[in-house]
């Protein structure tokens, strides 16, 4: 992805300033020196960094109220709050792109060390805050675990009737009235494994739930159906389990890019536990007003109004400038899980706008969404870099990296798998690795009467 490095002029007192401060003081983008960076998207070194712009508005206030009292990562608190708020407002605030309606359904996956990353603690803190906003949602619209498409649809099923003996309508199942559903999956590896089983409908149901289409199963005996559902999924996992189970086969035909992945860790040590969160009364009232606004069904568009604080630029113009880079493809499993970036950013930005009770996405909302998405992309790069998503291809790539400058022949690769993998399967994996730029082949001639030998080498850094 192409990148421009911007040299921001110093402040009037000679001190360094960020681009947001520069624009807020009346600076213009055209006046900044642009230095092209030819190396593509700048990956993180060892841990992702979340820009301050992500702590925008009420979401930032909630994080700042909770974070001092818990060991949970502020990133986890932020993402879980945005996802939960988006579920609470249901099929209200939305935007439309080419006829497709997108509601504020955000599906974060928290990736951190088991028990140490405090993923569940963060979720508990957020839920306790939102319990004060909507007790009905807290007690009736949450569930845990993903095992099948039928199970998911059952939680948001339609009313079911049949015709009685005398032609009257008989209610078989009253169904679910409130179809807001926030599902928590504490072990994300579970559904990834389930989706690979033959005949399992979970991956299909998940795609339909994210895409906002009618959920239905085609089972002969007891078909289930759900219209007008609003499903949010938040999941927890650790990096080892994620790498073990997340392959192209287990992505279920495009499920992985409906989620966005966030590395999280313990933020501080509180040996005696954290204090109770005490939200100011004003913040609680503002959250209630934000939920009421979000439920009203507002079509939230990108603002075309120039904003003086950002050098006269509009959110629509900013979106137009970042959109091409969001749509560019990256290779491997990293590219797969980040391939729905434009829709993810718009959904996050719309959620920020609804929290601000704004009928338009403004620059602050868009910058916040871009900041959170960039953190997710950094996380995905650290987790999935060097992985193709094909189990055999990834194993071959690992072997080629270990071989270094010596490389490996096809026969050596066959022996590497103890001849348990067919030569045709290895040949197909090598073809994929070469086509995607992960590996290269060279033909070596010994100078003797024997046939030339083809040797394979890894092309990507370890």
CATH number of the domain within which 452 lies: 1.10.10.10
Q: Assign 2 a pLDDT band (cuts: 50, 70, 90).
A: very low
Q: Calculate mean pLDDT across residues 50-58.
A: 95
Domain boundary pick from 364, 384, 404: 384
437 lies in the same domain as 310: no
121 lies in the same domain as 68: yes
222 lies in the same domain as 332: yes
331 lies in the same domain as 422: no
Buried (b) or exposed (e) across 156-185, using 16+ Cβ within 10 A?
Answer: bbbeeeeeeeeeeeeeeeebbeebbbbbbb
Domain boundary pick from 330, 357, 384: 384
What is the per-residue pLDDT for 179? 95
Q: Calculate mean pLDDT across residues 208-230.
A: 83
Q: Are 49 and 378 in contact (CB under 8 A)?
A: yes
Q: Could you tell me which residue, 149 or 75, shows the higher pLDDT? A: 75
10 lies in the same domain as 120: no
What is the per-residue pLDDT for 231? 96
315 lies in the same domain as 238: yes
320 lies in the same domain as 373: yes
28 lies in the same domain as 52: no
Q: Are 28 and 310 in contact (CB under 8 A)?
A: no
Tell me: pLDDT of 229 over 80: yes
pLDDT digits (tens, 9 = 90+) for 382-431: 988 777 767 788 788 888 888 888 888 888 888 888 888 888 888 888 88
94 lies in the same domain as 192: yes
How many domains does the chain fold into? Answer: 3
283 lies in the same domain as 367: yes
pLDDT digits (tens, 9 = 90+) for 175-189: 899 999 999 998 888
Q: Could you tell me which residue, 262 or 399, shows the higher pLDDT? A: 262
Give the structural domain span for 256. 43-384
22 lies in the same domain as 152: no
What is the per-residue pLDDT for 65? 93
Q: Are 85 and 293 in contact (CB under 8 A)?
A: no
Domain boundary pick from 355, 384, 413: 384
What is the per-residue pLDDT for 462? 43
Tell me: pLDDT of 38 over 50: no
Residue 75 β-bridge partners: none
- Determine the Cα–Cα distance for residues 283 and 17; give it in Å rounded to an integer: 30
Tell me: pLDDT of 250 over 70: no
435 lies in the same domain as 356: no
Query: Average pLDDT over the chain, rounded to whole?
Result: 86
pTM comes to 0.81
What is the per-residue pLDDT for 86? 97
- Determine the Cα–Cα distance for residues 281 and 285; give it in Å rounded to an integer: 6
């Amino acid at each position: 992805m192409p990148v421009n490095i911007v040299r921001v002029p110093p402040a009037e007192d000679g001190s360094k300033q960020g681009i947001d401060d520069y624009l807020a003081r009346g600076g213009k983008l055209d006046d900044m020196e642009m230095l092209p960076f030819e190396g593509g998207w700048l990956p993180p070194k060892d841990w992702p960094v979340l820009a301050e712009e992500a702590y925008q508005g009420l979401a930032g206030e909630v994080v700042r109220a909770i974070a001092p009292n818990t060991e949970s990562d502020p990133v986890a608190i932020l993402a879980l709050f945005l996802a939960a708020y988006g579920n609470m407002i249901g099929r209200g605030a939305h935007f439309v792109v080419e006829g497709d309606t997108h509601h504020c359904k955000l599906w974060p996956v928290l990736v951190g060390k088991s028990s140490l990353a405090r993923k569940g603690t963060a979720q508990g803190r957020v839920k306790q805050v939102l319990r004060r906003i909507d007790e009905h949602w807290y007690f009736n619209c949450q569930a845990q675990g993903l095992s099948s498409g039928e199970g998911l649809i059952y939680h948001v099923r339609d009313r079911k009737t049949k015709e009685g003996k005398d032609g009257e309508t008989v209610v078989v199942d009253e169904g679910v009235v409130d179809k807001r559903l926030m599902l928590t999956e504490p072990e994300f590896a579970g559904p990834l494994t389930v989706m690979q089983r033959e005949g399992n409908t979970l991956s299909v149901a998940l795609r339909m739930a994210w895409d906002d289409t009618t959920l239905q199963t085609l089972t002969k005996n007891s078909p289930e159906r759900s219209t007008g559902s609003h499903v949010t999924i938040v999941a927890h996992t650790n990096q080892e389990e994620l790498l073990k189970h997340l392959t192209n086969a287990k992505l279920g035909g495009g499920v992985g890019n409906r989620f966005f992945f966030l590395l999280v860790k313990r933020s501080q040590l509180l040996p005696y536990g954290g204090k109770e969160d005490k939200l100011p009364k004003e913040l609680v009232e503002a959250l209630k007003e934000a939920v009421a606004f979000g439920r009203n069904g507002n079509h939230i568009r990108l603002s075309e109004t120039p904003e003086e604080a950002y050098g006269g630029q509009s959110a629509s113009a900013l979106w137009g400038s970042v959109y091409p880079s969001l749509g560019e493809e990256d290779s491997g499993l990293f590219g797969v899980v980040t391939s729905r970036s434009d829709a993810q950013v718009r959904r996050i930005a719309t959620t920020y706008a609804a929290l601000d009770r704004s009928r338009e996405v403004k620059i602050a909302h868009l910058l916040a969404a871009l900041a959170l998405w960039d953190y997710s992309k950094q996380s995905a790069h650290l987790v999935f870099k060097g992985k193709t998503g094909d189990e055999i291809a990834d194993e071959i790539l690992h072997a080629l990296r270990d071989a270094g400058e010596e490389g490996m022949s096809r026969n050596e690769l066959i022996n590497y798998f103890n001849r348990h993998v067919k030569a045709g399967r290895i040949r197909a994996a090598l073809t994929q690795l070469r086509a995607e730029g992960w590996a290269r082949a060279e033909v070596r001639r010994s100078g003797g009467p024997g046939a030339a030998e083809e040797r394979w080498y890894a092309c990507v850094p370890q």
